[in-house]
């Protein structure tokens, strides 16, 4: 299975600022996804990162708040913009090689907003 | 609203016993089914996946899928202290949401001495 690395692993940020999270996969993958896990909750899909085109966002998530880039088949970034304490969560990147392969996750980025 | 339901627990299991976790899903178009284990402070780790009706075994873990009844279960045999974690069921409907995972709330498993 692909090895997925995320940076940073954790950060503490001031409200109103933005943070960009990087996700690097050690092999080319078809699909990359970004999930959010709020404290004590399960995972919720934010968006699908599409290579060479705009990301596809799930209901409740918008591009202005969570801009995503995917310049190639191994790398994606998620930016959390204009952060508020409600954005304090774990943000997880996942990758999928093909429809028959299971999805694996990176170690996540633990984000706290003061 | 497509839903994935799990009992939140905690599920208390004596060491050495079998832990049985259940998951139901509402979308009949769901094609792939996964069980992830998540330790506190860690990211989810895939432990089982199943695509066809029936049982699939991997070591101490067995996944069972019944698409007609829309449920998937996970059995953990010979439970060990290291099995204490939250187990999350996830499903994906490849027809209109290729690869997207929808997670249940997770079941916390506690292994007692």
Query: pLDDT tens-digit profile of B43-92?
Result: 999 999 999 999 999 999 999 999 999 999 999 999 999 999 999 999 98
Q: CB atoms < 10 A from the CB of A76, how many?
A: 27
Q: What percent of chain A has pLDDT over 70?
A: 97
Cross-chain Cβ contact A103/B99 below 8 Å = yes
Q: Which of A98-107, B20-29, B100-109 is predicted least confidently? A: A98-107
Note whether B84 and B76 are within 8 A (CB). Answer: no
Does B42 have pLDDT greater than 80? yes
Considering only CB atoms, which chain B residues are within 8 Å of A108?
A: 42-43
Q: Which pLDDT does position B95 carry in this prediction?
A: 59
Min Cα separation B80/chain A (Å): 24
Considering only CB atoms, which chain A residues are within 8 Å of B33?
A: none
Q: Which pLDDT does position A37 carry in this prediction?
A: 97
SS3 helix, strand, coil % of chain B, rounded to 5?
5, 55, 45
Across chain A, mean pLDDT equals 93
Residues counted in chain B: 113
Task: Give the Cα separation of A62 and B88 in Å (integer).
Answer: 26
What tens digit of pLDDT does each residue of A84-113 get? 999 999 999 999 876 667 888 999 999 999
Task: Give the Cα separation of A37 and A114 in Å (integer).
Answer: 18
The region that residue A108 occupies, defined by phi over 0 for left and psi between -120 and 50 for alpha, beta otherwise, is: left
Structure letter (DSSP) for residue A102: P
Residue among B90, B87, B61, B88 at smallest CA distance from B76 = B61
Q: Which residue of A has its CA nearest to B39?
A: A107
Cis-peptide, bond into residue B10, ω within 30° of zero: yes
B39 pLDDT tier (thresholds 50, 70, 90): very high
What tens digit of pLDDT does each residue of A72-88 get? 999 999 999 999 999 99
């Amino acid at each position: 299975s692909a090895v997925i690395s995320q940076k940073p692993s954790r950060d503490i940020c001031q409200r109103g600022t933005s943070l960009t999270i990087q996700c690097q996969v050690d092999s080319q993958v078809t699909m990359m996804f970004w999930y959010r896990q709020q404290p004590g909750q399960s995972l919720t899909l934010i968006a699908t990162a599409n290579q060479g085109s705009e990301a596809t966002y799930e209901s409740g998530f918008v591009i202005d708040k969570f801009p995503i880039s995917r310049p190639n088949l191994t790398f994606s970034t998620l930016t959390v913009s204009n952060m508020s304490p409600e954005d304090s969560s774990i943000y997880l990147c996942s990758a999928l090689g093909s429809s028959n392969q299971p999805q694996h996750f990176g170690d996540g980025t633990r984000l706290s907003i003061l | 609203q497509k839903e994935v339901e799990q009992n939140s627990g905690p599920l208390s299991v004596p060491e050495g016993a079998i832990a049985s976790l259940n998951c139901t899903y509402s979308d009949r178009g769901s094609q792939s089914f996964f069980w992830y284990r998540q330790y506190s402070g860690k990211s989810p780790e895939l432990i089982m996946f199943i695509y066809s009706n029936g049982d699939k075994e991997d070591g101490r873990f067995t996944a069972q899928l019944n698409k007609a009844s829309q449920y998937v279960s996970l059995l953990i045999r010979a439970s060990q202290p290291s099995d204490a974690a939250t187990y999350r069921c996830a499903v994906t409907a490849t027809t209109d949401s290729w690869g997207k995972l929808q997670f249940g709330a997770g079941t916390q498993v506690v292994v007692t001495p």
